[in-house]
Amino acid sequence: MTTLIDGRGREPPEPMVLTLEALDTLAEGDELLLLLYCQPHPLFSILRNNGYAWNEDVRADGTREIRIRKKPG
């Protein structure tokens, strides 16, 4: 299952808060899709330190698609 958070029209720290809340309930095998207009380095650091993997694509309009999953094990 994929959960979508569109952070593009939201003021910080709202996208971060919503993402952290969604991570609390993210099951293994599920995916969280975050849409932003910038690279969220603090979030990447949190993900790295807390056992999550992610990959990032950039759309033509500059939107960054960040797909987050729990690392297996």
Partner 1 sequence: MHPHLSFDQAPPISVPYRFFLVAPWFGVMAGILLAWSGGDALASRWTPEALALTHLIAVGFMLQAMCGALLQFIPVAVGANVWRPKLVANIVQPLLLLATLLLVGGLLFSRPGMFTVAVPLFLLALGGFVVVVALALWRTPATSMSLWALRLAIGGLAITVLLGSLLAEALARGFSVPILELTDVHLAWGLGGWGLMLLAGVSYQVVPMFQLTRPYPPWLTRWFAPLMLLMLLAWSAQIFIDPVRWLPLIALCLLSMLSAYAASTLWLQYTRRRKIHDATSLYFRVAMLSMLAFVVSGAVFLLFPDLGADPRFAVWLGVLAFAGVFVSAISGMMYKIMPFLNWLHLQLLNPPLSAMPNMNRMIPADAMTGQLRLHVLAVVLLLAAVWQPGLTRLAGTAFAVSCAWLGWNLVGAVRRYRTFKDQIRAAALHC
Out of 1, 2, 9, 28, name the contact with partner 1 by CB under 8 A.
Answer: 9
Cα distance between residue 46 and residue 61, in whole Å: 27
71 lies in the binding site for partner 1 (CB under 8 A): no
28 lies in the binding site for partner 1 (CB under 8 A): no
53 lies in the binding site for partner 1 (CB under 8 A): no
Cα distance between residue 5 and residue 2, in whole Å: 10
Q: How far is CA 18 from CA 11, 15, 60, 69, in A?
A: 11, 5, 25, 16
Instruction: List contacts with partner 1 (CB under 8 A).
Output: 8-13, 20-21, 23-24, 37-39, 41-42, 44-46, 49-50, 61-62
